[in-house]
């Protein structure tokens, strides 16, 4: 079985020791190394422990043997496109969003910086992380099955205030939202 443990670990800037210590219960760096290379069987228990330590869904650790992985082969700098010294596997979008519930918003009309056809991936924020969403785009459920989308400009324990992305629109206040999803990834077809 091909796994992406090493790819995701490196993308998150973790060493073998960091990942081993983050496991619950902790393990050794040697064990993590053996799991990465396939020298040790990646059981369901190990899959869940490693995924929890990396903050990703367990299924994101597995790679298909039917399809080659997408590779990062170059980087764009002020000097132009340059090859990487060593190509590396690109993480799937869901792996970049981390653990937790993910919402998706399709853009059907150009508004603000968003274009028709854009797809916005949003990650639900726990209440204790909402302060880091100030001045960022969020999706919030409203009563009657509707939603509000815009820049989070203020929040309290029971109220959020959003500034919609369109020009000339008025502030939206939502009382007691069930959740707040932070825009984390924009997918735009060219």
**pLDDT per residue as tens digits for the range 109-128:** 999 999 999 999 998 888 88
Q: Looking at residue 128, what is its pLDDT?
A: 84
Q: Looking at residue 96, what is its pLDDT?
A: 64
Domain harbouring 159, CATH code? 2.10.109.10
Model confidence band, residue 66 (pLDDT cutoffs 50, 70, 90): low
Q: Looking at residue 99, what is its pLDDT?
A: 66
Q: In this structure, are 126 and 64 located in the same domain?
A: no
Residue that terminates a domain, selected from 45, 68, 91: 91
Q: Looking at residue 1, what is its pLDDT?
A: 60
Q: Which domain holds residue 166?
A: 100-187
Closest CA to 70 of 48, 83, 88, 97: 88
Q: In this structure, are 137 and 166 located in the same domain?
A: yes
Task: Determine phi and psi for 34, rounding to 5 degrees.
Answer: -70, -35
Q: In this structure, are 83 and 114 located in the same domain?
A: no
- Evaluate whether 3 touches 95 at the Cβ level (below 8 Å): no
Q: Looking at residue 167, what is its pLDDT?
A: 84
CA distance 186 to 190: 12
Domain harbouring 59, CATH code? 1.10.260.40
């Amino acid at each position: 079985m091909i796994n992406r443990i090493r790819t995701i670990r490196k993308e998150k800037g973790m060493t073998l020791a960091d990942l081993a210590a983050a496991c619950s219960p902790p393990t050794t760096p040697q064990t993590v190394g053996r799991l990465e290379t396939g020298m040790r069987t990646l059981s369901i228990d190990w899959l869940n422990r490693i995924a929890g330590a990396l903050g990703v869904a367990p299924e994101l650790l597995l790679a298909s043997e039917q399809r080659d992985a997408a590779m990062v082969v170059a980087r764009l700098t002020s000097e132009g496109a340059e090859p990487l010294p060593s190509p590396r596997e690109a993480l799937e979008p869901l792996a970049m969003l981390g653990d937790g519930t993910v919402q998706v918003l399709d853009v059907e009309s150009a508004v603000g910086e968003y274009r028709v056809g854009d797809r916005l991936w949003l990650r639900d924020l726990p209440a204790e992380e909402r302060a880091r969403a100030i001045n960022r785009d969020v999706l919030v459920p409203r009563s009657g099955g509707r939603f509000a989308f815009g820049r989070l400009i203020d929040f309290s324990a029971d109220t959020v205030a959003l500034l919609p992305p369109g020009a000339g629109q008025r502030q939206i206040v939502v009382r007691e939202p069930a959740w707040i999803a932070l825009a984390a990834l924009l997918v735009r077809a060219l």
